[in-house]
Amino acid sequence: KAGVTQTPRYLIKTRGQQVTLSCSPISGHRSVSWYQQTPGQGLQFLFEYFSETQRNKGNFPGRFSGRQFSNSRSEMNVSTLELGDSALYLCASSSTQLGLGNTIYFGEGSWLTVV
Amino acid sequence: GQQLNQSPQSMFIQEGEDVSMNCTSSSIFNTWLWYKQDPGEGPVLLIALYKAGELTSNGRLTAQFGITRKDSFLNISASIPSDVGIYFCAGQRNNDMRFGAGTRLTVKP
Protein backbone atom coordinates (compact mmCIF):
# COMPACT_ATOMS: atom_id res chain seq x y z
CA LYS A 1 0.00 0.00 0.00
CA ALA A 2 1.53 3.31 -1.03
CA GLY A 3 2.16 5.83 1.73
CA VAL A 4 1.42 9.52 1.87
CA THR A 5 3.05 11.27 -1.08
CA GLN A 6 4.04 14.92 -1.04
CA THR A 7 5.32 17.03 -3.93
CA PRO A 8 7.56 18.81 -4.47
CA ARG A 9 10.15 17.61 -1.97
CA TYR A 10 12.28 20.72 -2.14
CA LEU A 11 11.64 24.21 -3.44
CA ILE A 12 13.03 27.71 -3.17
CA LYS A 13 10.83 30.78 -3.49
CA THR A 14 11.34 34.51 -3.24
CA ARG A 15 9.65 36.76 -0.68
CA GLY A 16 6.26 37.91 -1.92
CA GLN A 17 5.69 34.91 -4.17
CA GLN A 18 3.12 32.24 -3.56
CA VAL A 19 3.55 28.47 -3.37
CA THR A 20 1.31 25.43 -3.75
CA LEU A 21 2.17 22.09 -2.17
CA SER A 22 0.45 18.83 -3.00
CA CYS A 23 -0.40 15.78 -0.94
CA SER A 24 -1.81 12.41 -1.97
CA PRO A 25 -3.11 10.45 1.03
CA ILE A 26 -3.00 6.72 1.56
CA SER A 27 -5.60 5.05 -0.62
CA GLY A 28 -8.94 5.01 1.17
CA HIS A 29 -8.02 7.73 3.64
CA ARG A 30 -10.36 10.72 3.63
CA SER A 31 -8.72 12.97 6.18
CA VAL A 32 -5.72 15.06 5.22
CA SER A 33 -4.05 17.38 7.70
CA TRP A 34 -1.17 19.80 7.20
CA TYR A 35 1.62 20.82 9.58
CA GLN A 36 4.51 23.23 9.66
CA GLN A 37 7.77 22.15 11.28
CA THR A 38 10.56 24.59 12.16
CA PRO A 39 13.50 24.26 14.54
CA GLY A 40 12.17 27.03 16.73
CA GLN A 41 8.46 26.16 16.90
CA GLY A 42 8.49 22.40 16.36
CA LEU A 43 5.49 20.76 14.74
CA GLN A 44 2.42 22.93 14.46
CA PHE A 45 -0.99 22.04 13.14
CA LEU A 46 -2.17 24.09 10.15
CA PHE A 47 -5.54 22.63 9.15
CA GLU A 48 -7.43 19.44 8.43
CA TYR A 49 -9.66 18.52 5.50
CA PHE A 50 -12.20 15.74 5.49
CA SER A 51 -14.54 15.02 2.59
CA GLU A 52 -13.47 18.25 0.87
CA THR A 53 -14.37 20.39 3.91
CA GLN A 54 -11.97 22.19 6.21
CA ARG A 55 -12.76 20.91 9.69
CA ASN A 56 -10.28 22.72 11.84
CA LYS A 57 -7.63 25.38 11.50
CA GLY A 58 -4.57 26.12 13.59
CA ASN A 59 -3.32 29.53 14.59
CA PHE A 60 -1.88 30.64 11.25
CA PRO A 61 -2.62 33.76 9.19
CA GLY A 62 -5.01 33.76 6.27
CA ARG A 63 -2.07 33.57 3.85
CA PHE A 64 -2.12 29.85 4.56
CA SER A 65 -4.98 28.08 2.84
CA GLY A 66 -5.81 24.70 1.46
CA ARG A 67 -8.35 22.57 -0.29
CA GLN A 68 -9.23 18.96 -0.81
CA PHE A 69 -10.46 17.33 -3.98
CA SER A 70 -13.05 14.61 -4.42
CA ASN A 71 -10.30 11.97 -4.67
CA SER A 72 -9.04 13.13 -1.23
CA ARG A 73 -5.87 14.65 -2.65
CA SER A 74 -5.11 17.97 -1.00
CA GLU A 75 -3.21 21.12 -1.81
CA MET A 76 -1.85 23.78 0.50
CA ASN A 77 -1.17 27.31 -0.65
CA VAL A 78 0.86 30.04 0.98
CA SER A 79 0.57 33.50 -0.51
CA THR A 80 2.83 36.53 -0.10
CA LEU A 81 5.66 34.42 1.25
CA GLU A 82 7.76 35.71 4.13
CA LEU A 83 11.23 34.60 5.21
CA GLY A 84 9.70 33.05 8.33
CA ASP A 85 7.64 30.69 6.18
CA SER A 86 10.77 28.65 5.47
CA ALA A 87 10.01 25.26 6.98
CA LEU A 88 9.28 21.61 6.41
CA TYR A 89 5.59 21.27 5.52
CA LEU A 90 4.19 17.90 6.41
CA CYS A 91 0.99 16.30 5.25
CA ALA A 92 -0.66 13.43 7.09
CA SER A 93 -3.58 11.19 6.22
CA SER A 94 -6.04 9.18 8.24
CA SER A 95 -9.04 7.01 7.53
CA THR A 96 -11.28 9.10 9.77
CA GLN A 97 -11.39 12.61 11.14
CA LEU A 98 -8.80 13.72 13.66
CA GLY A 99 -9.69 13.07 17.26
CA LEU A 100 -11.84 10.00 16.69
CA GLY A 101 -9.27 7.57 18.01
CA ASN A 102 -7.56 7.14 14.70
CA THR A 103 -3.94 6.91 13.61
CA ILE A 104 -2.37 9.41 11.26
CA TYR A 105 0.46 8.73 8.86
CA PHE A 106 2.88 11.40 7.69
CA GLY A 107 4.44 11.99 4.30
CA GLU A 108 8.11 12.85 3.91
CA GLY A 109 7.38 16.55 3.69
CA SER A 110 8.09 19.47 1.38
CA TRP A 111 11.08 21.61 2.26
CA LEU A 112 10.32 25.26 1.49
CA THR A 113 13.05 27.87 1.57
CA VAL A 114 12.08 31.52 1.15
CA VAL A 115 14.89 33.87 0.14
CA GLY B 1 -2.21 26.51 21.04
CA GLN B 2 -0.35 24.94 23.93
CA GLN B 3 2.00 22.20 22.83
CA LEU B 4 2.74 19.12 24.92
CA ASN B 5 5.55 19.02 27.49
CA GLN B 6 7.99 16.38 26.34
CA SER B 7 11.08 15.36 28.29
CA PRO B 8 13.92 14.92 28.23
CA GLN B 9 14.89 17.26 25.41
CA SER B 10 17.88 15.08 24.51
CA MET B 11 19.55 11.89 25.65
CA PHE B 12 23.01 10.46 25.11
CA ILE B 13 23.13 6.77 25.93
CA GLN B 14 25.32 3.74 25.41
CA GLU B 15 24.23 0.99 23.07
CA GLY B 16 22.31 -1.64 25.00
CA GLU B 17 20.86 0.76 27.56
CA ASP B 18 17.15 1.31 28.07
CA VAL B 19 15.55 4.69 27.31
CA SER B 20 12.48 6.36 28.73
CA MET B 21 10.78 9.58 27.63
CA ASN B 22 7.42 11.10 28.44
CA CYS B 23 4.87 13.70 27.50
CA THR B 24 2.53 15.55 29.79
CA SER B 25 -0.25 18.04 29.31
CA SER B 26 -2.69 20.03 31.38
CA SER B 27 -5.45 18.84 29.03
CA ILE B 28 -7.04 15.46 28.45
CA PHE B 29 -6.41 13.66 25.19
CA ASN B 30 -8.33 10.88 23.47
CA THR B 31 -5.39 9.45 21.56
CA TRP B 32 -1.63 9.45 22.11
CA LEU B 33 0.76 8.75 19.27
CA TRP B 34 4.52 8.31 19.25
CA TYR B 35 6.62 9.05 16.15
CA LYS B 36 10.28 8.84 15.18
CA GLN B 37 11.75 11.32 12.74
CA ASP B 38 15.06 10.95 10.94
CA PRO B 39 16.82 14.03 9.51
CA GLY B 40 15.15 15.29 6.35
CA GLU B 41 12.29 12.82 6.59
CA GLY B 42 8.72 12.90 7.81
CA PRO B 43 7.73 11.37 11.16
CA VAL B 44 7.08 7.63 11.13
CA LEU B 45 4.44 6.21 13.45
CA LEU B 46 5.81 3.91 16.16
CA ILE B 47 2.90 3.28 18.51
CA ALA B 48 -0.70 4.47 18.77
CA LEU B 49 -2.66 4.45 22.06
CA TYR B 50 -6.42 4.82 22.20
CA LYS B 51 -7.51 4.03 25.78
CA ALA B 52 -6.51 5.36 29.17
CA GLY B 53 -4.21 2.87 30.90
CA GLU B 54 -3.43 1.08 27.64
CA LEU B 55 0.06 -0.42 27.43
CA THR B 56 1.23 -1.31 23.92
CA SER B 57 4.46 -2.81 22.62
CA ASN B 58 6.08 -2.78 19.21
CA GLY B 59 9.27 -4.84 19.31
CA ARG B 60 11.65 -3.17 21.74
CA LEU B 61 9.30 -0.21 22.14
CA THR B 62 6.63 0.05 24.81
CA ALA B 63 4.28 2.96 25.34
CA GLN B 64 1.52 3.68 27.83
CA PHE B 65 -1.52 5.96 27.78
CA GLY B 66 -1.64 7.56 31.23
CA ILE B 67 -4.64 6.76 33.41
CA THR B 68 -5.43 10.47 33.80
CA ARG B 69 -5.35 10.84 29.98
CA LYS B 70 -2.94 13.73 30.44
CA ASP B 71 0.33 11.91 29.89
CA SER B 72 2.10 9.12 28.03
CA PHE B 73 5.52 7.53 28.11
CA LEU B 74 7.67 5.65 25.62
CA ASN B 75 10.34 3.12 26.59
CA ILE B 76 12.99 1.69 24.29
CA SER B 77 14.78 -1.37 25.60
CA ALA B 78 18.28 -2.53 24.65
CA SER B 79 18.97 0.46 22.40
CA ILE B 80 20.88 0.01 19.14
CA PRO B 81 22.61 2.61 16.93
CA SER B 82 19.70 2.82 14.48
CA ASP B 83 17.46 4.10 17.31
CA VAL B 84 19.15 7.47 16.80
CA GLY B 85 16.66 10.17 15.85
CA ILE B 86 14.06 12.51 17.23
CA TYR B 87 11.04 11.03 18.98
CA PHE B 88 7.78 13.00 19.07
CA CYS B 89 4.63 12.50 21.05
CA ALA B 90 1.29 13.71 19.74
CA GLY B 91 -2.04 14.02 21.47
CA GLN B 92 -5.42 14.20 19.78
CA ARG B 93 -8.41 15.86 21.38
CA ASN B 94 -11.66 16.42 19.51
CA ASN B 95 -10.51 17.62 16.08
CA ASP B 96 -7.21 19.08 17.21
CA MET B 97 -3.66 17.77 17.49
CA ARG B 98 -0.80 18.86 19.73
CA PHE B 99 2.84 17.83 19.57
CA GLY B 100 5.74 17.56 21.95
CA ALA B 101 8.96 19.38 21.06
CA GLY B 102 10.74 16.07 20.61
CA THR B 103 13.43 14.05 22.36
CA ARG B 104 16.70 13.82 20.44
CA LEU B 105 18.27 10.41 21.07
CA THR B 106 21.96 9.70 20.48
CA VAL B 107 23.23 6.15 20.90
CA LYS B 108 26.94 5.58 21.30
CA PRO B 109 28.19 2.21 20.03
Render pLDDT for A74-105 as a digit per residue (tens, 0 to 9): 999 999 999 999 999 999 999 887 766 678 89
Whether B61 shows a pLDDT value over 60: the answer reads yes
Q: Do A109 and B97 touch (CB under 8 A)?
A: no
Specify the pairing of strand B85-93 against strand B96-99.
Answer: antiparallel
pLDDT (average), residues B35-56: 91
Q: Do B95 and A56 touch (CB under 8 A)?
A: yes
Give the contacts of A88 (CB within 8 A, at least 6 positions apart): A36, A37, A38, A109, A110, A111, A112
- Residues A100 and B47: their CA atoms lie apart, in Å, by 16
The predicted structure's pLDDT at residue B95: 67
Q: Do B45 and A58 touch (CB under 8 A)?
A: no
Confidence of residue A11 (pLDDT cuts 50, 70, 90): very high
Indicate which of B97, B98, B103 best probes the interface with A, i.e. most A CBs within 10 Å of its own CB.
B97
Confidence of residue B1 (pLDDT cuts 50, 70, 90): very low
Strands (E), chain B: 5-7, 10-14, 19-24, 31-37, 44-49, 55-58, 61-65, 71-76, 85-93, 96-99, 103-108
Confidence of residue B97 (pLDDT cuts 50, 70, 90): confident
Specify the pairing of strand B10-14 against strand B103-108.
Answer: parallel
The predicted structure's pLDDT at residue A32: 95
Quote the percentage of chain B above a pLDDT of 70. 97
Asked if B29 is an interface residue toward chain A (Cβ–Cβ < 8 A), one would say no
Q: Which residue of B has its CA nearest to A55?
A: B95
Confidence of residue B74 (pLDDT cuts 50, 70, 90): very high
pLDDT in tens, A26-70: 999 999 999 999 988 888 989 999 999 998 888 899 999 999 999
Average confidence score pLDDT of chain B: 92
Polymer length of chain A: 115
pLDDT (average), residues A21-25: 98
pLDDT (average), residues B44-65: 93
Specify the pairing of strand A31-38 against strand A42-50.
Answer: antiparallel
- Residues A27 and B95: their CA atoms lie apart, in Å, by 21
The predicted structure's pLDDT at residue A99: 65
3-state secondary structure of B47: strand
Q: Which residue of A has its CA nearest to B91?
A: A99
Asked if B38 is an interface residue toward chain A (Cβ–Cβ < 8 A), one would say no
Quote the percentage of chain A above a pLDDT of 90. 77
Confidence of residue B92 (pLDDT cuts 50, 70, 90): confident
